[in-house]
């Protein structure tokens, strides 16, 4: 067995129990949730690999997130803090106020005929009404599908056709820094393109942009709420779906991750204390977006299920207005725990490498920083840890899992940090490293990271209306395991290292190399703020790596000298077998709106392959800059 070494300690005891007796482990966690009817069976494996948790149980996720706290003494505690530097607004909601707003909007949806099992697409910016809409769907037993606000019309139409919603909830606009992004024209075009035509759209009119409403189809949010009656929570089965979340970059047949009500509520409440070390009443801030899985799990459901105060932030880590934005929020709202992507801290590091802005704020309430969403390079982790004087925890998880696969579980036992590793598997996640024959490899060898079935509660059940795609995409390649599509290794202490996506393992003259390993070397250069490594086709060696470097603000040195230094660093630390000879300095890297670097797109540009501009890209104009930089190095531009 290649799971973590079975040694003594609180983490090890919890992990062992979760693997050896998952029924008892998760039954105990389930006791922390309010149930209308207790479950008949904790784990139902009668249709394996379509496992179900807490079958026979009935609950309501919205009741657990709001009403339960109102009834048990937290009615006047702040539930939600809305902080929007881009609109210069701050607003707070107590648990009672958020419950009342949610029950009223649930009444709006109910008047439109939305009920248990119906779908509602939510296409919203980072405003409190987005949270209200999500919770209102949960209150009715309806299935919400949040689509990132400002997503392209075609991509929105694909999701509308797949989910077939009865209604759509949207807003007149979103804000991208100082730029107003009108949503209504994008929504109207998506509805024109979609084959499925939802009956109604509810539009929140924001003061900075007025949307033209279509008579008979579009409703004004405020008018609809004023005319509605509050609606009570509707009991649903634990196995009923709570939401559908489409994976980023989906084209063709959409891949809608399905999350249930029961297992999701149990797992997320459990994580708040055990992984994040958070207690009811603490202020928890996930600096993400409700359009991504982090926003679902740790802006909305996790903190509210646990009785925390959660922060909804409409802004950026830099530029709204400066690189001190995060420190201002932490100080002003007494944030105890921050969860964000490594790219946010690389942006702060690039703009303010000595953290001058941080000195302006009182961070005495700040106790822990969690990073996830992409691999955290050791240099960024060390920089954050040395400057913040709080635990800096890299943890690994995915849209499909809904919560972390590996983490340093602060609420169980704080383990020693190893930069480059998200520490050890979380209880319930039986992580293995296997080769193409589905055989476990020895410690230290890089290969496919997988999780032994069954996955724990809170992970995805299947893909919406696509059980065959669920099996093919995730469960067929490694029978008995969930394919993460990430590659990495486990060391002798049981620490997991996620080096790259499986597709980012490159084959250089027969040597399998991780692009993540090369990136570690590049990012350790003192002038490099962030970097990316991709493999490009080579007639002699199959593939060779090339690097893209973003320098820290204020660096005045010759870029050619820096490139020569990083090439030598790779030669010294990895060896000549890496064949790393080419790197180029660029102003920025192409990323998704959630901060993931688009390595595959850059690889296609370098190889001269046809590529489509990803729907999730944060700034399409950057691809022209990347094309020019790579062309200067002799790589082909795209063929169109």
Which residues have CB under 8 Å from 216's CB, separation 6+? none
Q: Tokens standing for 522?
A: 């590049």
pLDDT at position 509 = 58
DSSP string, 462-528: -BTT-HHHHIIIIISSSTTEEEEEEEEEE-TTS-EEEEEEGGGEEEETTEEEEHHHHHHHHHTSTTE
pLDDT at position 594 = 66
DSSP string, 405-440: EEE--TTT--PPP-TT---EEPTT--EEEE-TTSPB
DSSP string, 63-119: IIIIIHHHHTT-TTSEEEEEEETTTTEEEEEEHHHHHHHHHHHHHHHHHTT--TT-E
pLDDT at position 631 = 83
Residues of the chain with pLDDT under 50: 1-6, 249-252, 638-640
Mind listing the pLDDT tens digit for each residue in 236-289?
999 999 999 998 543 346 789 999 999 999 999 999 999 999 999 999 999 999
* Rounded alpha-carbon distances, angstroms, from residue 575 to 498, 505, 508, 524: 21, 17, 12, 16
In a domain, 639, yes or no: no
In a domain, 361, yes or no: no
Q: Does residue 211 contact residue 179 with C-beta atoms inside 8 Å? A: no
> What is the distance between the alpha carbons of residues 319 and 598, in angstroms, rounded to a whole number?
22
In a domain, 595, yes or no: yes
Displacement of CA 404 from its chain's centroid (Å): 10
pLDDT at position 212 = 95
In a domain, 202, yes or no: no
The 8-class DSSP code of residue 299 comes to I
In a domain, 608, yes or no: yes
Q: What is the CATH number of the domain that holds 532?
A: 3.30.300.30
Residue 333 has φ and ψ, to the nearest 5°, of -105, 5
Domain that holds residue 610: 509-632
Mind listing the pLDDT tens digit for each residue in 575-632?
777 888 889 999 888 887 767 788 888 888 888 888 888 777 777 888 888 888 888 7
In a domain, 176, yes or no: no
Q: Does residue 552 contact residue 546 with C-beta atoms inside 8 Å? A: no
Residue 569: Cβ-neighbour burial (10 angstroms; 0-12, 13-18, 19+): middle
pLDDT at position 636 = 62
In a domain, 270, yes or no: no
Q: Tokens standing for 467?
A: 């059980």
Q: Does residue 238 contact residue 57 with C-beta atoms inside 8 Å? A: yes
Number of domains in the chain: 1
* Rounded alpha-carbon distances, angstroms, from residue 553 to 127, 317, 526, 588: 32, 15, 12, 12
pLDDT at position 505 = 65
pLDDT at position 507 = 66
In a domain, 433, yes or no: no
């Amino acid at each position: 067995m290649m799971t973590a070494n079975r040694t003594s300690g609180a983490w090890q005891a919890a992990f062992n129990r979760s693997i050896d007796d998952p029924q008892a482990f998760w039954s105990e966690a389930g006791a922390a949730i309010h149930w209308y009817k207790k479950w008949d069976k904790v784990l139902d494996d009668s249709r394996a690999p379509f496992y179900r948790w807490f079958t026979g149980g009935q609950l309501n996720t919205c009741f657990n997130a709001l009403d339960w706290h109102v009834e048990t003494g937290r009615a006047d505690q702040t539930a939600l803090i809305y902080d929007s530097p881009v609109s210069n607004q701050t607003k707070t909601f107590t648990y009672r106020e958020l419950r009342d707003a949610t029950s009223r909007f649930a009444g709006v949806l109910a008047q439109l005929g939305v009920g248990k099992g119906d779908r509602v697409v939510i296409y919203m910016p980072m405003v409190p009404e987005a949270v209200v809409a999500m919770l209102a769907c949960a209150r009715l037993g309806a299935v919400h599908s949040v689509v990132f606000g400002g997503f392209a019309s075609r991509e929105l139409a694909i999701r509308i056709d797949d989910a077939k919603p009865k209604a759509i909830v949207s807003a007149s606009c979103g804000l991208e820094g100082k730029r107003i992004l009108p949503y209504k024209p994008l929504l109207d075009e998506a509805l024109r393109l979609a084959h499925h035509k939802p009956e109604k759209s509810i539009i929140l009119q924001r003061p900075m942009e007025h949307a033209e409403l279509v008579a008979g189809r579009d409703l004004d949010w405020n008018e609809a709420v004023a005319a509605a009656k509050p609606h009570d929570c509707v009991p649903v089965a634990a196995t009923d779906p709570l939401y559908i979340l489409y994976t980023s970059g989906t084209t063709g047949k959409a891949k809608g991750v399905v999350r249930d009500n029961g297992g999701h509520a149990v797992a997320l409440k459990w994580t708040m204390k055990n992984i994040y070390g958070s207690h009811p009443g603490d202020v928890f801030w996930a600096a993400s977006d409700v359009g991504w899985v982090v926003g679902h799990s740790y802006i909305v459901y996790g903190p509210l299920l646990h009785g925390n105060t959660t922060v909804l932030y409409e802004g950026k880590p830099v530029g709204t207005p400066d690189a001190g934005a995060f420190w201002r929020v932490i100080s002003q709202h007494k944030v105890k725990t921050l969860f964000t992507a490594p790219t946010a801290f690389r942006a702060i590091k690039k703009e303010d490498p000595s953290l001058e802005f941080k000195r302006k704020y009182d961070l005495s309430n700040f106790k822990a920083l969690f990073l996830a969403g992409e691999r955290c390079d050791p240099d960024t982790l060390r920089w954050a840890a040395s400057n913040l004087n709080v635990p800096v925890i890299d943890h690994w998880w995915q849209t499909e899992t809904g919560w972390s696969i590996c983490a340093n579980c602060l609420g169980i036992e704080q383990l020693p940090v190893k930069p480059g590793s998200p520490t050890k598997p979380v209880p319930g996640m039986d992580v293995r490293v296997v080769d193409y024959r589905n055989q476990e490899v020895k410690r230290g060898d890089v290969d496919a990271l997988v999780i032994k079935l069954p996955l724990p509660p809170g992970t995805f059940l299947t893909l919406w209306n696509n059980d065959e795609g669920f099996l093919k995409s995730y469960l067929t390649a490694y029978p008995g395991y969930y394919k993460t599509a990430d590659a990495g290794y486990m060391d002798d202490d049981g620490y997991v290292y996620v080096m790259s996506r499986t597709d980012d393992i490159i084959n250089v003259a027969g040597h399998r190399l991780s692009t993540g390993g090369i990136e570690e070397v590049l990012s350790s250069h003192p002038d490099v703020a962030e970097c990316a490594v991709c493999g490009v086709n080579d007639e002699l060696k199959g593939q060779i790596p090339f690097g893209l470097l973003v320098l820290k603000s204020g660096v005045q040195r010759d870029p050619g000298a820096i490139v020569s230094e990083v090439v030598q660093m790779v030669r010294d630390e990895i060896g000549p077998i890496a064949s790393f000879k080419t790197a180029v300095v660029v102003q920025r890297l192409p990323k998704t709106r959630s901060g993931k670097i688009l390595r595959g797109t850059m690889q296609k540009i370098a190889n001269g392959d046809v590529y489509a501009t990803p729907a999730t890209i944060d700034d399409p104009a950057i691809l022209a800059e990347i094309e020019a930089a790579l062309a200067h190095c002799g790589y082909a531009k795209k063929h169109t």
